[in-house]
Structure 1
Amino acid sequence: MKEIISESMQALKEATGFSGTVLAGNKEEILAAFSGGYANRSEGSLNRADTRFGIASGCKLFTATAICQLVEKGQLSFDSKLRDCLPLEFKNFDQEITIHHLLTHTSGIPDYFDEETMDNFEDLWTDYPMYRVRRPQDFLPLFAEKKMKHETGRVFHYNNGGYIVLGLVVEHVSGLAFSDYVEQFIFAKANMKDSGYFEADALPERTAAGYIDHEDGSWKTNVFSLPAKGGPDGGAYVTATDMMKFWESLMTFELLSEKTTSILLQPHVHVTNDIYYGYGLRMKLRQQDVEKYILMGYDPGVNFRSVYYPKEKRSIVVCSNKSGGAFEIISGIEKEII
């Protein structure tokens, strides 16, 4: 893909030391397309338009879409109780938790990484090695026995554990491994040929390593900072092009019916100010109308932002293989082209 970058964006790219790939527009018109930095610093391999990047929590929307597909098939409902969807006993969880509660981060269950009490994601793996975490059930020892964090349905509290549980529901109901389900029924349907849930010790070609930079100028990769394989709460790899394809497929009802898509995109829970949460994504409202849908993903060595403007039918995708930079880049693009 030909690089499209304005002088102001070039200056911002250089000023931030951006490492990653950017794509903005739609399938009819590309308004910005550029890359920067290295996919592999040791080998000197540059990031390109077809580089695959981890997107951390940006892929909670894939999990929400999978759940919605199963609801469409009549295998679940949004009001289904968790206790009726999984043959697992969560002895400390509220028995009234529903699929809707899990999708909207209002279940109140404990999280395996609570951003209110933990600062460093890497601390999770001190006693529980990350190389053992390759399936959704591998996360359960980190939170399944803990007590409830909040009363069910009372408050929005961002919760990775809730999406792990949703992934287990997908597996139980569909009979497929979670990653297989998403790759077959979402990535394949959206023609996302370069995307997948790859294992850190078996990455395919054109996959960017994630880099953690230190103040003294040294750096390391994130290979020992994240689970060996991503899951329902985050960790898929996509190209910027594939992520734009996903937005297009979702918004043209190729993945879900128009009715179910509208439910997924509905502002179900107030988060803060003019930001609301639907199923798997945030949205910014202006006078009761959705101005934009928002995806974010942050992990050590991973920084992802993507937005979709329904009125303009345009998306912006910013994938970075450093711990920062995506917000500054996407904010600059929004000011320039939206």
Structure 2
Amino acid sequence: MKTILKYVILFFLISCNNLSAQNLEAKVDKLLNEKFKKEGPGSVFLVAKKGKVMYRKAFGMADLEMNIKMQSEFVFEIGSMTKQFTAISILMLVEQDKIKLNDEITKFIPDYPTNGNSITIHHLLTHTSGIKDFTSMKSIKDIARADLSPKELVDFFKNEPIDFKPGEAFKYCNSGYVILGYIIEIVSGQSYGEFIDQHIFKKLEMKNSYYASHEKIIKNRVSGYRNKDGYMNTNYISFSIPYASGSIMSNVDDMLKWQNAIDKNKLLSSDIVEKAFTNYKLNNGSKINYGYGWHIKEVNGKLTREHGGSIFGFKSMGVYLPQEQVYVIGLSNCDCNSPTEITRDIASLFAN
């Protein structure tokens, strides 16, 4: 009798869990079907809990001209989520004792005009350097299609006046991550793309992740769009411009491999990787809600590590709740349809 009762209780618990999972799936389906229409540019979303996939679906179209429906394995430009890879690469070099976080950038780029200010690797990683964000410069339109070397790109903005003294404020800055990419090249002797490919993509078997290229044949690449009185193909930009601040391509499956590797310390020791997730402070002691390559925020009072991305034709968002071990990644192929808020909403659903 006790054995029968045990199996009845077990069956009841399994049934309840299945119903709960079905209810969650239905809620997420509803949210995403409302946001991403069948006939328009689409998205792919993945939810994982404790490293295991709980939800993985595609919505809308991957290519409007060829009438190709989106599929879950398709590859997107992920924009500023690239900064996570740049930050971890810097920490890898820190762990190898090739870089120190308090090294001044002039140690690597002696002719960089700091005008008497001490600008460190830490300042670049945390967006507290005061260096002007080159993407806000009007003259960026003059170089957007040009293939520049990292040095030429740094030279483009290095003489701009600083916005504030290092450490006095937080201001999101793509220029800082361009400089970090250039420093990775100087220290490692490899191009940024080669370093990421060898030390991260190959090591983690991220076979659908790339330093972006217009020329290379990339299997399952989706097309990017914008909406200006109707959908249009996105503007062309040379990938040498977003560079280490925004030029990586990937898919949701590889991004889960990335998140799991970070969580399980596959690339760095726990002491070093934790530096990426520290909520750093300004000179006056106020927190900036940013670590190295990740925003440190909250969803319904629960700690998150998150970052979005935006590049011509694409938007992306990844949210991780470390205490609940919930990861949500959303990739969209129209810069008119950001997945940021809906990704956070989904994370909240699965964290309960």
TM-score range, shorter chain: 0.7 to 0.9
Residue type of the alignment partner of 1:170:
I
Match of 1:45 in 2: 68
Quick one: structure 1 residues 92 and 74, their matched pair in 2 at CA, closer, same or farther if it must change by over 3 Å?
closer
Q: 1:140 aligns with which of 154, 162, 168?
A: 154
Q: Kindly indicate whether the alpha-carbon contact (under 8 Å) linking 2:78 and 2:247 is maintained by their aligned counterparts in 1.
A: yes
**1:61-100 equivalences in 2 (<5 Å):** 61-86=84-109, 88-100=110-122
Q: Structure 1 vs Structure 2: percent identity of aligned residues?
A: 26
Quick one: structure 1 residues 17 and 274, their matched pair in 2 at CA, closer, same or farther if it must change by over 3 Å?
farther
Q: Kindly indicate whether the alpha-carbon contact (under 8 Å) linking 2:83 and 2:244 is maintained by their aligned counterparts in 1.
A: yes
Quick one: structure 1 residues 80 and 141, their matched pair in 2 at CA, closer, same or farther if it must change by over 3 Å?
closer
Asked whether 1:337 is paired with 2:330, we answer no
Deviation at 1:129, TM superposition (A): 4.3
Quick one: structure 1 residues 94 and 12, their matched pair in 2 at CA, closer, same or farther if it must change by over 3 Å?
farther
Deviation at 1:189, TM superposition (A): 2.0
Q: 1:160 aligns with which of 168, 174, 177?
A: 174
Residue type of the alignment partner of 1:126:
K
Question: What TM-score, normalized by structure 1, do the two folds share?
Answer: 0.87
What value does the CA root-mean-square deviation take over the aligned residues?
A: 2.5
Match of 1:235 in 2: 247
Q: Distance in 1 between matches of 2:241 and 2:213?
A: 5
Quick one: structure 1 residues 274 and 48, their matched pair in 2 at CA, closer, same or farther if it must change by over 3 Å?
farther
Quick one: structure 1 residues 226 and 39, their matched pair in 2 at CA, closer, same or farther if it must change by over 3 Å?
farther
**1:248-259 equivalences in 2 (<5 Å):** 248-259=260-271
Match of 1:282 in 2: 295
Q: Kindly indicate whether the alpha-carbon contact (under 8 Å) linking 1:303 and 1:322 is maintained by their aligned counterparts in 2.
A: yes
**Secondary structure, counterpart of 1:276 in structure 2:** coil
Q: 2:131 aligns with which of 86, 93, 109?
A: 109
Q: Kindly indicate whether the alpha-carbon contact (under 8 Å) linking 1:93 and 1:148 is maintained by their aligned counterparts in 2.
A: no
**1:220-231 equivalences in 2 (<5 Å):** 220-222=233-235, 224-225=236-237, 227=239, 230-231=242-243
Match of 1:205 in 2: 219
Deviation at 1:336, TM superposition (A): 2.4
Unaligned runs of 5+ in 2: 1-21
Q: Which has the higher helix share?
A: 2
Q: Kindly indicate whether the alpha-carbon contact (under 8 Å) linking 2:117 and 2:166 is maintained by their aligned counterparts in 1.
A: no
Deviation at 1:293, TM superposition (A): 0.4
Quick one: structure 1 residues 325 and 96, their matched pair in 2 at CA, closer, same or farther if it must change by over 3 Å?
closer
Quick one: structure 1 residues 329 and 129, their matched pair in 2 at CA, closer, same or farther if it must change by over 3 Å?
closer
Q: Kindly indicate whether the alpha-carbon contact (under 8 Å) linking 1:267 and 1:277 is maintained by their aligned counterparts in 2.
A: yes
Q: Distance in 2 between matches of 1:294 and 1:28?
A: 16
Q: Kindly indicate whether the alpha-carbon contact (under 8 Å) linking 1:93 and 1:147 is maintained by their aligned counterparts in 2.
A: no
Task: Point out the structure with max Rg over C-alpha.
Answer: 2
Unaligned runs of 5+ in 1: none
Quick one: structure 1 residues 331 and 226, their matched pair in 2 at CA, closer, same or farther if it must change by over 3 Å?
farther
Q: 1:192 aligns with which of 203, 206, 231?
A: 206
Question: What TM-score, normalized by structure 2, do the two folds share?
Answer: 0.84
Q: Distance in 1 between matches of 2:25 and 2:299?
A: 29
Deviation at 1:217, TM superposition (A): 1.9
Per-residue CA deviation, residues 30-78 of structure 1 (Å, 9 max, x unaligned), is 2211111222221122221211111110110100101000011111100
Q: 1:263 aligns with which of 261, 275, 293?
A: 275
**Secondary structure, counterpart of 1:49 in structure 2:** coil
Q: Distance in 1 between matches of 2:61 and 2:116?
A: 46
